[in-house]
Structure 1
Amino acid sequence: MSAQFIERHRENAEIFSGSDLCKQKSIELLVELNMPNGLLPMDDIEEVGYNRSTGFVWLTQKKAIQHRFTKIGKQVSYDTHVTAFVENRKMKKLHGVKAKELLIWITLNEISIDDPSSGKIVFGTPTGISRSYPISAFEVENK
């Protein structure tokens, strides 16, 4: 997903900049969407934007990063631009996030919590394959 696509959604969007504020706003957004607060473990975020009328969200960081979710032993890559259309307990048309499965990187395009009582979060790929993990694996205790 390119910076040009982000530009089309800037009008009427809430836009924040600065690493500390962006980290705070990205966590607040996840909480607002009833998603685990550690789902976007990006630290060097330059800009966060949320267009509530379209549901479009973007995070821009200086460089791509990789993060290991230790509770499930999964490596995840976050590109310089991470974008999605969001709604309660769901991120659709996700771009910029990949998970390492064995030796290959798999693109993720949807993250959802279909049934909160199950305690599971589901990660989907463009090919229709999905995997579920405990929601708790993506929760971070507030400092």
Structure 2
Amino acid sequence: MSKQAMIESHREGAEVHRGADLCKKQSMDLLAELHLPKALLPLAAVEEVGYNRATGFVWLRQNKSTTHVFKAIGKTVSYASEVTAFVEDRRMKRMTGVKSRELLIWVSITDMYIDDPESKRITFKTPAGIGRSFPVSAFEADADKEEERDGGGGGK
């Protein structure tokens, strides 16, 4: 079975939401449910969010690929038009569509997790298993700044 066919099989039976406002809310709710920082996936123009709770498969589709600079840690991250992952509490595994700029090259990020919530650190790993940890707060502060720019958002 091809990789694409496997991904498609996980879409069956998923909750699917469409529309920018609903998708932004759903993606924020999902991050909160997984105990992950709210600015971890700063995707402004999400058109579709899908979550298959039975398999843990998640996808987010946006109009086009985007890049975001996490100022607190000085990292530029690229998000493809579709980001996929298998999720569980405080963890995203087998991710696709996320790359971090390291010096002059883009490096794929395949896993991110918070091993110990007390440490307040989140680790990102590459397909080669090389990882870097950063303060969780670096992915919370960006969300607050983004909400200030777009007028508060959230709708709560």
* TM-score, normalised by the number of residues in structure 2: 0.87
The answer (yes or no) to whether the contact 1:46–1:60 under 8 Å persists in 2 is yes
Specify whether residues 5 and 79 from structure 1 end up closer, same or farther in structure 2 by C-alpha distance, changes over 3 A only.
Answer: farther
The answer (yes or no) to whether the contact 1:76–1:97 under 8 Å persists in 2 is yes
Distance 1:6 1:61 in 2: 17
What is residue 27 of structure 1 aligned with on the other side? 28
Residue identity opposite 2:67 in structure 1? Q
1:8 Cα deviation (Å)? 1.8
* TM-score, normalised by the number of residues in structure 1: 0.94
SS of 1:97's equivalent in the other structure is: strand
Residue identity opposite 1:53 in structure 2? A
Select the structure that is richer in helix: 2
Equivalent pairs counted in the alignment come to 143
Which runs of 4 or more aligned residues in structure 1 lie more than 6 Å from their structure 2 counterparts after TM superposition? none
**Does residue 111 of structure 2 align to residue 110 of structure 1?**
yes
1:3 Cα deviation (Å)? 6.4
Q: Which structure is larger by alpha-carbon Rg, 1 or 2?
A: 2
1:68 Cα deviation (Å)? 0.4
In the TM superposition, what whole-angstrom CA distance separates every residue of 1:89-113 from its partner, at most 9, and x where no partner exists?
Answer: 0000010000001111010000000
**Does residue 38 of structure 2 align to residue 41 of structure 1?**
no
What is residue 87 of structure 2 aligned with on the other side? 86
Cα RMSD for the two superposed structures: 1.6
User: Any stretches of 5+ residues in structure 2 without a counterpart?
Assistant: none
What is residue 71 of structure 1 aligned with on the other side? 72
Distance 2:72 2:62 in 1: 25
1:11 Cα deviation (Å)? 2.0
Once the two structures are superposed, the pairs formed by residues 3-14 of structure 1 within 5 Å of their partners are: 5-14=6-15
